[in-house]
Structure formats: C-alpha cells, structure tokens
Amino acid sequence: MNSNSGTEGITEDDIAGYLANTPGFFERHAELLGTVQLSSPHGARAVSLQERQMEMLRERIKNLERKIMEMIRYGQDNMAISDRLHRWTRSVMLTHDPERLAPVLVHDLQHHFMIPQAAVRVWGVGPELGYLPCAAEVSEDVKIFATSLVAPYCGANSGFEAASWFDDADSVTSLALIPLRRDRQHTAFGMLALGSPDPTRYTPDMGIEFLAQVGDIASAALTRLFP
C-alpha cells in the first residue's frame, strides 16, 4: 500500500479547518511555532510567525490611525460647514428690509461658502415689490422646471435659463439649481441658482443634503416678500 494514500485528497482548507477546530494542537506542539518561517511583506527576507504577527498588527494600527484621522477631519469639516450655515442663517434672519433681503441672502451665501456666482428669482410677489431685481420676470419653463424638482439639480450648465441670471454667465460650466417652496408639497415660488467655472464643483453624484437645507432656509426667508 502506498504510504501517502492516507493523505491523498487533503487540501489546505482541510488543514486550516483542523487547526482552527483543534486549539490544543499548538499547545501540544509548541516547538512548531518557533520553526515557522514566513515571507515578510516588506522584503524578500523570511521572518518568524511572531514577527509576521507583529507586522500585521502594526499595519492594522496604521489603518486604524488613518481612519481615526479621516473621521476627525470629516468632523472638523462638518463643524465648519455648520458654523458657516449658522452665520448665514443669522444674517438672513436679521434682514427685515425687503429691498435688502435677497441681496443679503445671495451675497452672504457666496461669502461664507466661497461660491463664485449666485442669483435668486421669485415670482408672485406683491405688486408693491415687483420692482425688486429678484422679482424680475422669468419664463413659464423656469417655473415649471422649478416645481418639477423634488431635490436640487446639480450638473453641467447645458443652456439653462437660470444661468443668464449670473453676472458672468459665460464663465459658468456647472451649477446647482435649488427650488424654493413653502414646503416640499407646494408649487415652487422661486429658484436659487449657484454657479461655478469649475466643471466638478456641482456634479450629479454629489451629496445634496446641504443644498436642500440652504433651499429650506432661503424659502422660509423669502416668503416675507409675499402678501
């Protein structure tokens, strides 16, 4: 009989499973641990099992440290955004003059969030405020489009009418269009447009939670222009 017949068909998975399910094996054969040699991931040299385990632990610690630093950075970024949003909201709430409301809203939004260009339009304001720049006439297509938006639009400037509201419309390659409404169920009464010459500033796959918050705050503030 072939002396190797008893080990035929045994795979590495079988051996790994046996060792995992037999915790006392290395206690009974402790001398084997000292003889195991593995390739180091940092070179061609061979290292002991203990050294390899230490290297693996160091790598895990480095990865954990990297993740912790990322979490700290994200937390700091979120705190900075929250602080800017707070300051912008406060400046808008303190503006009671109807003539200054839209200009302050747009200017301070650009200032706090470093937005190259921004503009806002509202429709249906009282006749006594029809002279305001933010109440300038817009097409029915814009009104229908604003109402159709269930969330802010972010993407390339592909000839949107709202892009013409910017001071330097030709430079805008990406934009965000934020509908303004009394709540999510109502017809839009306006639209806030943010523009940038950077084609990657506003993209379809970006998060829109912050822009939706800006839209809610701007909507609440601008309702003061209506009867």
Q: How many CB atoms lie within 10 A of CB 108?
A: 19
Under the banding of pLDDT at 50, 70 and 90, the label for residue 65 is confident
Q: Is the pLDDT reported for residue 2 higher than 50?
A: no
pLDDT at 105: 98
pLDDT in tens, 92-137: 999 999 999 999 999 999 999 999 999 999 999 988 999 999 999 9
According to CATH, the superfamily of the domain at 95-225 is GAF domain (3.30.450.40)
CB 218 within 8 A of CB 178: yes
Q: Is the pLDDT reported for residue 3 higher than 50?
A: no
The arithmetic mean of pLDDT across residues 188-193, rounded, is 97
Would you kindly state where each structural domain of the chain is located, as residue ranges?
Answer: 12-70, 95-225
The C-alpha angle 134, 123, 167, rounded to 5 degrees, equals: 30
The arithmetic mean of pLDDT across residues 176-203, rounded, is 94
Under the banding of pLDDT at 50, 70 and 90, the label for residue 48 is low
pLDDT in tens, 30-40: 666 666 666 66
Sign of CA dihedral 160, 121, 137, 169: negative
Q: Is the pLDDT reported for residue 143 higher than 80?
A: yes
How confident is the prediction for the chain on average, in pLDDT?
A: 87
pLDDT at 1: 43
Name the more confident of 63 and 121.
121
Q: Which residues pair with 176 in a beta bridge?
A: 154, 194
The arithmetic mean of pLDDT across residues 86-90, rounded, is 96
Under the banding of pLDDT at 50, 70 and 90, the label for residue 68 is confident
Which two tokens mark 73? 């950075």
Whether the predicted model's global pTM rises above the 0.75 cut: no
Q: Quote the CA–CA distance of 54 and 198 in Å, as a whole number.
A: 46
pLDDT in tens, 77-87: 778 888 999 99
Q: Is the pLDDT reported for residue 24 higher than 80?
A: no
CB 81 within 8 A of CB 210: yes
